Structure 1
Amino acid sequence: MAAPEQAVADAKAYLRIDGSDEDALLATLAGVAIGLCERFTGLALISGERSDTIPACSPEWQRLPATPVSVIASVATLDPAGVATALPVEAYAIDIDASGDGWVRLTAPSVASRLLVGYTAGLAADWPSLAEPLRQGVLRLVAHLYAHRDAADDAGPPAAVAALWRPYRRMRLA
Structure 2
Amino acid sequence: MSGQIDEDLSGKFNELLSIFEKKNCRKISLYLNSYGGQLFYGVEIGITVRKKNIETFITDICDSACGYVFVGGIKRNIQKYRKMGFHQISIDDGRCVTKKTAVDSDDIEIIKLGNSYVRMMLGDKSSKKWIGYEDMTNCNNMLHVGSSELLKDGIVNNVFD
TM-score tier after normalising by the smaller chain length: under 0.3
The answer to which structure, 1 or 2, has the higher relative contact order (CA under 8 A, 6+ apart) is 1
